[in-house]
Amino acid sequence: DADVTQTPRNRITKTGKRIMLECSQTKGHDRMYWYRQDPGLGLRLIYYSFDVKDINKGEISDGYSVSRQAQAKFSLSLESAIPNQTALYFCATSGGQGLAVNEKLFFGSGTQLSVL
């Protein structure tokens, strides 16, 4: 089984719909992240969480919200989806202490979201 699991793998929805993307991990990491990938733009950080009680906005958080339900679960919501939120979404985790938290991110397999 994958260490970082994202569901669904693919999703097509309509403008104005509420969408939730889910992420769970079995690595025991405290830190979890949501990234968005667009062609030609690389990956950009939406939200990140350092523990269950700590949620932080990334560089492109407008139009998104998150919930850290448990150490292992971090979900991303689009309250009212719009077409320019069509993208590939990645969840990731990291562990370690001090600078070692920078050592590596573990990625899920991504959710391709299309908003029509």
Partner 1 sequence: AQTVTQSQPEMSVQEAETVTLSCTYDTSESDYYLFWYKQPPSRQMILVIRQEAYKQQNATENRFSVNFQKAAKSFSLKISDSQLGDAAMYFCAYSGGSNYKLTFGKGTLLTVNP
Q: Which is nearer to partner 1, 20 or 101 (CB)?
A: 101
Contact residues toward partner 1 (CB under 8 A) are: 31, 33, 35, 40-45, 48, 50, 58, 88, 90, 92, 94, 99, 101-105, 107, 109-110, 112
Preceding amide of 8 cis, omega within 30: yes
68 vs 66: CA distance, rounded Å: 7
Q: Which is nearer to partner 1, 6 or 24 (CB)?
A: 6
Give one DSSP letter per residue of the chain, joined into a string.
--SEEEE-SEEEE-TT--EEEEEEESS--SEEEEEEEETTTEEEEEEEEEETTEEEE-TT-TT-EEEEEETTEEEEEESS--GGG-EEEEEEEE--SGGGGGS--EE---EEEEE-
In angstroms, what is the minimal distance from the CB of 34 to partner 1? Answer: 11
In angstroms, what is the minimal distance from the CB of 64 to partner 1? Answer: 16
In angstroms, what is the minimal distance from the CB of 80 to partner 1? Answer: 26
Q: Which is nearer to partner 1, 74 or 90 (CB)?
A: 90
Q: Which is nearer to partner 1, 52 or 88 (CB)?
A: 88
In angstroms, what is the minimal distance from the CB of 106 to partner 1? Answer: 9
